[in-house]
Amino acid sequence: DKMPNLAGLCRTSEVFGCEALCMANAKMTKDQSFQSISVTAEKWLPVREVPRTALRQELLALRRQGYALVGVEQTHNSVPLDEWRFSPSTALVLGAEKEGIDAELLPLLDGCVEIPQSGQLRSLNVHVSGALVIWEYMRQRRHAPA
């Protein structure tokens, strides 16, 4: 939800060649602060506006298109990131900074990954979490058999 997080995710998504970034308010990309943090990545990465009220339908549409839906969330069934094997067509679902992914959306997901942590806080900034998961996805794709 926070502009710096979304701008950072935009930049990270473009750097790693993601297909698109969906966010509740795409108008935010016009903000000069957003563009400063994203280093204008929104010019090269498709940013799609998906209001929260339409997120369920968007996820179902992605599933019909063949995407695996993977949440980045700490749940009792989450798999450590380094143990998850990503499908080539994966849509990552990131939640709000403090609330996480809406509970009603969790049943739609093919699974959730969590980032192994050893500190006391047990919480990473959503942009940092997204960057780590995108990097792991790209690492697996780079090393996947042809």
- Tell me the CATH number at 67: 3.40.1280.10
Is the predicted pLDDT of residue 1 greater than 80, yes or no?
no
Are 34 and 88 found together in one domain? Answer: no
Q: Report pLDDT digits (tens) over 45-92.
A: 999 999 999 999 999 999 999 999 999 999 999 999 999 999 999 999
Give CA separation, 61 vs 56, 57, 87, 99, 101, in Å. Answer: 9, 6, 17, 24, 18
d(CA 113, CA 74): 7
Residue 5 neighbours by CB distance under 10 Å: 19
| Residue range(s) defining the domain that contains residue 77 | 55-146
Q: Which of 11, 27, 49 is the last residue of a domain?
A: 49
Are 3 and 18 found together in one domain? Answer: yes
**Distance between terminal CA atoms of the chain?**
38
Are 60 and 126 found together in one domain? Answer: yes
d(CA 90, CA 55): 16
Q: Report pLDDT digits (tens) over 116-136.
A: 999 988 789 999 999 999 999
Q: Which of 33, 49, 65 is the last residue of a domain?
A: 49
